[in-house]
Amino acid sequence: MQKLLVVYFLLILSFTTPPQYESLPLSTSSRWIIDESSSARVKLTCVNWAAHLEPMLPEGLDRKPLAQIAKHISSMGFNCVRLTWATYMFTRYANLTVAQSFERLGLSDSIEGISNNNPEFLNYSVVEAQRAVIEELGDEGVMVVLDNQVSQPMWCCSDNDGNGFFGDKYFDANEWLQGLDIVANRYKDTSMVVAMSMRNELRGPLQNESIWYEHIQRGATTIHNTNPNLLVIVSGLHYDLDFTFLKEKPLKLSTLKNKLVYETHRYSFSAGQTQLWLTQPFNKVCESITQDIHTKAGFLTEGENLAPLFVSEFGINQAEVNPAESLFLDCFLGYLAEMDLDWSVWALQGSYYLRDGLHGPEETYGMLDSNWSSIRNIEFHQKLQLIHHQMQDPNSNGSSYYILYHPSSGRCVNVENSEVHATDCWSFSRWKHEAGNRNPIRLMDSELCLSAGGDGTPVALSTDCTKEQSQWESLSNSKFQLANKDENGTYSCLEWDPNYSSIIQTNKCMCLEDSVNCTQRNPQTQWFKLVLANV
């Protein structure tokens, strides 16, 4: 416990200077989001903050003063918030005060909390309250992506909740466009509002590709014409998983040149895949799901019509990490790091005013605990550390190298005092490695390379990079294990077991055969990902 506390304070310290964006707006260049005036890459590393439920107020203002929440967001390292909103808040309820909104729902407990923590909010209209939150975030150096989550304010999302697709009970296309227009217009002079995403998780029985093209093109044009500074984020079908249809027929949005971004979502349960994680070997599932993500959304970052891809939701139950989510997360972090995508984790809120009829329920996927006072799960927070980094910079003149990332711990491989350690990812060693069969992993700008010692011994640094022990290959389908073959043809793998020491070892490779229900001890200790970087 004590050790964890120290880690926590170090993290807070390392995050204290929020990034300074001197010259918003943002724009795009090939697959990257950039600062429009300097062309420097800006990587969005965001947290979702729900504000689209019945009360129409960003969650948590009954628990902590706004300024404290905003500080906590930036101290956790997030440079942006994906703030959700409901269309009707602007088209139907814009004049409702926060007090009226909560009274209407019988939320006297929340009203008391708000009057204790943020009393000035009670007399704001719900729309003014949104602006007050955005301005506080802006003062804290946190950018905002406004996400149209639903039309009717309520918990999202299911196939038949009336908010899933154009033509559903609450989803009138014209009212939706009106909402986009009002919001885009409202923040014309608020530079920290950098993007709007058009509609969260389109879904349900009415989904139709030709209708998607029609309305997405209208929605994007509406936002852009009203507020040309904004990035416009396009959402896919089937809960934001799928853009395959764009391969045949790209969007016609040439007026939005350099403003278009796509968004996709992933959870362990996306597309009903939970069981895959539990019933098939990790390496196989991880490979097939990574391919699935790439085929349905990742491809957008390549080819002729390439654009940035924003993973605007992913996350796990941090209160009790189940096996499927633990495996999913390790695999997915590998993908996020390797692709160096922009992202937003679900979610900030540790609790809700009202969700599915319950008063004050906990959000176990929340970064903050139910009292909004501290980080819910320090290990999870730590695991995000590497993906906060900008690994690739399109303007960099530096040569490429690899970071050796250990997703299950969120650590990076780092040489210290001639020993090979797993440390936090604020510093990491730079490695050179040619993919393919049996090549050395060289420490950049040195004569040294990694060399296998023997089972259960620390991995060594050697100047003999031609010997057997210095040859490594990525084994298994998902390339999550780095192995050395000895003279007898036996593989040993890099391994880091945090219970043992901070030193990386070599040990017999576990679960290499992709054996179903691998029963060896925790194979996640051997998962390493080579992450390409040039900054």
Chain contacts with ligand NAG (rule: CB under 6 A): 92, 94-95, 119, 122-123, 208, 210-211, 278-279, 369-371, 395-397, 486-488, 497-499, 516-517, 522, 525
HSE at residue 316, side-chain half, CA atoms within 13 A, is 24
What minimum distance in Å lies between the beta carbon of 298 and ligand NAG?
Answer: 25
What minimum distance in Å lies between the beta carbon of 303 and ligand NAG?
Answer: 26
- Residue 97, judged by CB atoms within 10 A of its CB (0-12, 13-18, 19+), counts as middle
What minimum distance in Å lies between the beta carbon of 535 and ligand NAG?
Answer: 8
The Cα–Cα gap between 291 and 297 comes to: 10
What minimum distance in Å lies between the beta carbon of 304 and ligand NAG?
Answer: 26
The Cα–Cα gap between 308 and 325 comes to: 26
> Exposed e or buried b for every residue in 425-458, given b needs 16+ CB within 10 A?
beebbbbbbeeeeebbbbbeeeebbbbbbeeeee
What minimum distance in Å lies between the beta carbon of 275 and ligand NAG?
Answer: 8
Pairing verdict, β 354-355 and 358-359 = antiparallel
State whether the Cα torsion 504-510-516-521 is positive or negative: negative
What minimum distance in Å lies between the beta carbon of 209 and ligand NAG?
Answer: 7
Closer of 271 and 535 to ligand NAG (Cβ)? 535
Task: Return the axis-axis angle of helices 126-139 and 66-75, rounded to nearest 10°.
Answer: 40
Closer of 75 and 97 to ligand NAG (Cβ)? 97
Closer of 208 and 221 to ligand NAG (Cβ)? 208
The Cα–Cα gap between 223 and 194 comes to: 12
The residues near 31 (Cβ < 8 Å, ≥ 6 apart) are 301, 302, 306, 307, 308, 309
Cα–Cα distances (Å) from 286 to 276, 289, 334, 335, in that order, read 9, 5, 10, 10
Closer of 123 and 160 to ligand NAG (Cβ)? 123
Closer of 257 and 438 to ligand NAG (Cβ)? 438
Closer of 298 and 366 to ligand NAG (Cβ)? 366
Q: For residue 420, report the phi and psi dihedrals to the nearest 5 degrees.
A: -100, 110
What minimum distance in Å lies between the beta carbon of 271 and ligand NAG?
Answer: 19
What minimum distance in Å lies between the beta carbon of 28 and ligand NAG?
Answer: 18
Closer of 199 and 406 to ligand NAG (Cβ)? 406
HSE at residue 367, side-chain half, CA atoms within 13 A, is 25
Closer of 397 and 417 to ligand NAG (Cβ)? 397
